[in-house]
Amino acid sequence: MKSKIVFSLIFLFTLFSGKAQTTTNIKTVEVTAFAKEIKSTPKPQILDVRTPEEFGEGHIDNAVNIDWQNENFVKNTEKLNKNKAVYVYCRSGKRSLKASEKLSALGFKKIYNLDGGYLKWNAESKTAK
């Protein structure tokens, strides 16, 4: 009987602890939804987390380049508004997801991660610079 109570308490603790209850403020979205969100947002914060060289080869209009791999990534994101949506992308979507997770940990409230990154953006012929 005693072991059943202990087991039940452990089960309840596990059920209601952290991971089962977490929600995320990161949405990974397709190109069309990403473009629609940018277009419908006044002065959107578009964050390109690729290297400066990659950024120089082409980027989404009005994007700001803050290299995810740069040691000053966190410091450089301080100029962004944490309470306003931020639209994050990289080349294929891997770095931007990691950067999005970091932004979330830093307190950014709403983060849109571009699924497939700039490669997919270009493939679907969206406005690119």
The residue ranges of every structural domain in the chain are 23-123
- Which pLDDT score, from 0 to 100, does residue 45 have? 98
- Counting Cα atoms < 13 Å in the Cβ hemisphere of 63 gives 26
Distance CA 97, CA 94 (A): 5
- Which pLDDT score, from 0 to 100, does residue 22 have? 43
Q: What is the pTM of this model?
A: 0.79
Check: CB of residue 27 under 8 Å from CB of residue 102: no
Catalytic residue numbers read 90
pLDDT at 18 over 50: no
pLDDT at 2 over 80: no
- Model pLDDT for residues 72-124, shown as the tens digit of each residue: 999 999 999 999 999 999 999 999 999 999 999 999 999 999 999 999 999 99
23-123 CATH, one of 3.30.70.2190, 3.30.2130.10, 3.40.250.10, 3.30.420.40: 3.40.250.10
State the residue for tokens 């380049």. 65
State the residue for tokens 């290297």. 51
Band (pLDDT 50/70/90 cuts) for residue 24 is confident
- Model pLDDT for residues 40-79, shown as the tens digit of each residue: 999 999 999 999 999 999 999 999 999 999 999 999 999 9
